[in-house]
Amino acid sequence: MLLETLSVMRDLPRLHEIATVLIRYGWGDVVRILGLGKTLQRAGRLLHWQAPEEIARLDLPVRIRLALTDLGPTFVKLGQVLATRVDMFPIAWIEEFEKLHNRVPAVPYAEVQPGFEEAFKAPLEEVFESFEEEAFAAASIAQVHRGVLKDGSRVVVKVRRPGIVDKIEADLRILGHLARLLELEMPEARRYHPGKIVQQLRRSLMRELDLFKEARNIDRFARNFAGDATVRVPKVYWDYCTETVNVQEELQGIPGSDLEAARAAGLDLELLAARGGDAVLTMILLHGYFHADPHPGNVIYLPGNVVGMIDFGMVGRLTDRRREQLIDFLNALVLKDEEGMINVLTVWSGEAEIDEEKLGYDISELVFSYDDLSLKDIQIGPLLSEITAIMRDNNLALPPDLTLLFKALITLEGLGRQLTPEFHMVDHMEPFIRQVYARRYTPAALARRARHGLREVLEVVTGLPRDLARLFRQARRGSLKIDLDVKRLDHFGLQLNQAANRLTVGVLTASLVIGSSIIMTVPKAPWGLSLLAAIGFILAFANSLWIVYSIWRSGKD
């Protein structure tokens, strides 16, 4: 079944690997449903359908994590994308997905050297004073080497792994087919929108594969924090940046995960937590452009309690409108305003059908559970997890741009609480919310919104004659199409079907009456024929009673 949906035979070996791993971790039924087993067996590749007993005893989220790890970089990245979907998965699943790391052995220098020289258009010795051939960090997409430029600048050089693009494209092709099959063959999987998840994965991977785009991200963050002495972003060396290589300043400090070294260096951990939190909230609430993965591995502590941020492959962006909605939501959250939270969640849900009474009750219960807590005692991570659980229970899904945001806030609060147990994200949010509201209602901001609204009205008014002319032309040509979305159309169809049934029975009843009447008027009709006419009258009478009863019952319904 799957063989016909794939465009190229070259994916068969990879399909065999995927099916084998799925079966190994107890997903044989999924392989059968998707038709992978029949396809591979027809191709002469036999599968062993029995999962090892020790694996079968593991919890479901653990088995999924292990399977994704075995399947390689694309699937590890898929797990990391799923870790951002706090609106779709319970916390136990998110915790397992967060354990996925794409740390892999580095590619030998001889394999990446041609990539360096192609990007630099020169041998390495002409560009660097010194260069470390052994990578000090390696992930599934790229690895990182240290070097010193001819002008003495210490830099890190990030290079894409050879052949990774072809492998990822093959995996994405397969995942796209599997997502479509899941939606067709497994109705219970549809609520998780596997097709949309694969699209999100594709966008994320394509961004990370383009190292020049990551350099642009770094440069933008550097400009945004140019006047802030508490935050440091690496400088980009544009002369040496391409799609496959980027060169950036090496921030020399203490890794965010080494708290003992930070204490030994005399750094103020509480101040570092406050500055890191303020930096990310500034990105989100003021700039609308944020680091989407602020975990300890992406943070460097520098002298003077300066927070350095690295690895900008995964970033998020919020439109002005989305940022306004987010501010309203956070303000309602801080003030424990049930109505305000429901209004924003309703907007975020888009066209999804909502049981507003149930949603209101769930939000009311949430607010009540936090009612006796002071602001400083509220942790944003558990609170957002509860909100996303409410969204899951009400069959609502966060917009994709907000899934990254929620995940970033939860990760950031975890980082802050590692530095100091007294770190409370909500405390840091309140001043930003006040600042944004103050900006929102300045005369200049009000005038800008008024101009924008007036421009939209004028565009509608001036475009009306053109739209009407187009409408009339389509009507004259007979090409005018009207799409109607009639609610309860299925119920209407059922009623129409019932009416047709009654009409048919009515016609048959009339036929019986007429036929029986004709027979009864035949002089000296045989006894059997008279009996047949009597039976016809009885059936006609019974049908008449049924029609009257069904009409009465439909009126009651």
Residue 333 in domain: yes
Q: Are residues 493 and 436 in the same domain?
A: no
Residues 176 and 310 in one domain: no
Q: Which range, 202-206, 223-227, 517-521, has the best average confidence (pLDDT)? A: 223-227
* 309-310-311 Cα angle (round to 5): 140
At 107-146, the pLDDT tens digits run 898 898 888 888 888 888 899 999 999 998 888 788 999 9
Question: What is the band of 42 on the pLDDT scale with cuts at 50, 70, 90?
Answer: very low
Q: Identify whether the C-beta of residue 77 lies closer than 8 Å to the C-beta of residue 88.
A: no
The last residue of one of the domains, among 176, 203, 230, is 203
| Residue 43 banded pLDDT, cuts 50, 70, 90 | very low
Short-list 181, 161, 2, 199, CA closest to 73: 161
> Catalytic amino acids?
293
Mean pLDDT, the chain, integer = 78
Q: Which of helix, strand or coil describes residue 299?
A: strand
Q: Give the pLDDT score at 46.
A: 46
**Structural domain count, the chain:** 3
Per this entry, what is the length of the chain? 557
Split at pLDDT 50, 70, 90, the class of 275 is: very high
Residue 171 lies inside a defined structural domain of this protein: yes
Backbone φ, ψ for residue 307 (5° rounding) = -95, 115
Residue 29 has a pLDDT of 58
pLDDT at 190: 67
428 plus 514 within the same structural domain: no
Position 3 scores a pLDDT of 42
Q: Which residue has the tokens 């935050």?
A: 231
**Half-sphere CA count of 46, side-chain side, radius 13 A:** 2
User: Is residue 297 in a domain?
Assistant: yes
The pLDDT assigned to 6 comes to 44
In a domain, 152, yes or no: no
- Whether residues 294 and 396 fall in one domain: yes
**Identity of the amino acid at 357:** E
556 pLDDT exceeds 60? no
Give the residue with greater pLDDT, 443 vs 2.
Answer: 443
In a domain, 334, yes or no: yes
Distance of CA 266 to the CA centre of its chain: 41
118 inside domain: no
295-331 pLDDT, tens digit per residue, is 888 899 999 999 999 988 788 888 888 888 888 887 8
Report the distance separating Cα 220 and Cα 239, nearest Å.
17
Q: Residue 520 — very low, low, confident or very high, per pLDDT cuts 50/70/90?
A: low
SS3 144: strand
Q: Judge whether residue 370 has pLDDT over 60.
A: yes
Assigned domain for 226 exists: no
Q: Are residues 90 and 15 in the same domain?
A: yes
Q: Read off the pLDDT of each residue in 427-451 and give the average, rounded to a whole number.
A: 78
Q: What is the pLDDT of residues 208-265, one digit of tens each?
A: 889 999 999 999 999 999 989 999 999 999 999 999 999 999 999 999 889 899 999 9
Q: Return the H-helix or E-strand segment holding 96.
A: helix 91-98
Amino acid letter, residue 199:
Q
- Return the top range by mean pLDDT from 316-320, 428-432, 549-553: 316-320
pTM: 0.69
Is residue 111 included in any domain, yes or no?
Answer: no
Lowest mean pLDDT of 306-310, 365-369, 372-376, name the range: 372-376
Domain holding 507, by residue range, is 489-556
CA 415 to chain centre: 23
307 and 301 Cβ atoms separated by less than 8 Å: yes
- List CB contacts of 90: < 8 A, sequence separation 6 or more: 389, 392
Task: Using alpha carbons, list the distances in angstroms from residue 131 to 43, 116, 125, 454, 534.
Answer: 48, 11, 8, 59, 108
pLDDT, one tens digit per residue, over 70-112 is 887 788 878 877 777 766 777 778 878 877 766 667 889 889 8
Domain final residue pick, 440, 460, 477:
440
